[in-house]
Structure 1
């Protein structure tokens, strides 16, 4: 097993399975550094025939990816480098999810803790998601910040669940437990926490051990839905709201009230609703 050094990721590989451990304390916010590391790694492994499965997990048992870094509201040029490499018709956050969705390897998220906003969008972009019944949770909490999701959630959710449930997730803006997420189609399966590691490891190794060409053929035969037109509509809706005063007020208020701290993130929806 070999390790590759990144500032926000720990990578290990064995038997065709790469395990990517997200480690961006205190709560794994999706900041520029984490997005840069993830993008660099995904591009570097794209043409590696010896890597057949990517398993994403968190070094923090409470938080998978909290959400996009809210302090970026004060850094308008933070994503200039991303924009230069972003495919036409996508914003940088949508391109981030699509990079994962278009990987030739099978991508599996092992969700032991919480994923909100951009973190939940990353989860939904993966091929498969398995979550701990007792501890995992997902939320698209953007509405509580005066905006709608802008990194793919409106399209990913619509391809996984009914329109009514998608609107419930986006406008209800509540934390959804793993069992409910499974019933909605948001994730593949909710498992007891003590079984999660073993289940994902067995599945990943079994897939990686398949004869050469099987994974590629399966991903080609079960194609990803073309969401490009939907991404355009999503970006226009998100950008239009982001420019309004309410979004800035709520995002700054959230940070002042404790968002992106461990305590604040444990009850983020309540914190934002209280503003």
Structure 2
């Protein structure tokens, strides 16, 4: 298995994780396994204080889940330490890990890519970022329950707009809604994120971890909300109408470096069965 995530350590207490899974940084079972191993390191390393997640591809942070991945393999993956499916497990443990996790979003983060970004503590975006939960547009229910996270971040009405509208959100609009913390000019993103991470890495680990723990208590959804959403996702993607809409998108160029992937919010509306 080729590694999809490379780790560098620019400074004591500061890690950078870079995604690279050509052609468009799809998430698949191997991505989940690597993330699980990485989160375990974050949980047990006494020195790491902050981790930045970024992409080697300027057009795709994490595109979405690989719809051609073996669904039986995905569904049958062994539960993680929380007892949940490993995708839910990774997201929950990352949110609660005693480190500050930052998604530096340049390019597209949709579907499971958006779910991953939402599980990070902080989201900083480039003006070229595009975020969205497109699943309802193809007849599916988002599997990791981003509804629970978005409701707390952006409010009920805007969460409904994001999830049920299934459209793309630019970096600027995502910032306005609270989907991301802030959006910066593309040329400024890396410098800003690096500066913030270095600042946090200079503080004491115990204070960071304990302050985050208290914030978690009042801001994170209960883990019990997540498994039912994933079960509903698996049922929804098995429906004939959903399979037909997905097949039409694949025929049009989904999962390739195509106009469909670049403007997926528009193409889920154009897809007809």
Q: TM-score, normalised by structure 2?
A: 0.91
**Runs of at least 4 residues of structure 1 off by over 6 A?**
none
1:175 positional shift: 0.5
Query: 2:268 is matched with which residue?
Result: 272
Query: 2:133 is matched with which residue?
Result: 140
Superposition map of 1:16-165 within 5 A: 16-72=13-69, 74-80=70-76, 82-85=77-80, 87-88=82-83, 90-133=84-127, 135-165=128-158
Q: What CA distance in whole angstroms lies between the structure 2 residues aligned with 1:50 and 1:232?
A: 32
**Does 1:175 find its partner at 2:194?**
no
1:70 positional shift: 0.7
Deviates more, 1:150-159 or 1:93-102: 93-102
Note if contact 1:32-1:79 (Cα within 8 Å) is conserved in structure 2.
no
Q: What CA distance in whole angstroms lies between the structure 1 residues aligned with 2:134 and 2:41?
A: 32
| Secondary structure of the corresponding residue to residue 273 of structure 1 | helix
Q: What CA distance in whole angstroms lies between the structure 2 residues aligned with 1:78 and 1:94?
A: 12
- 5+ long unaligned stretches in structure 2: none
1:232 positional shift: 4.4
- 5+ long unaligned stretches in structure 1: none
Deviates more, 1:111-120 or 1:253-262: 253-262
Query: 1:204 is matched with which residue?
Result: 197
Q: TM-score, normalised by structure 1?
A: 0.90
Q: Over aligned residues, Cα RMSD in angstroms?
A: 1.9
| Secondary structure of the corresponding residue to residue 108 of structure 1 | strand
- Number of equivalenced pairs: 267
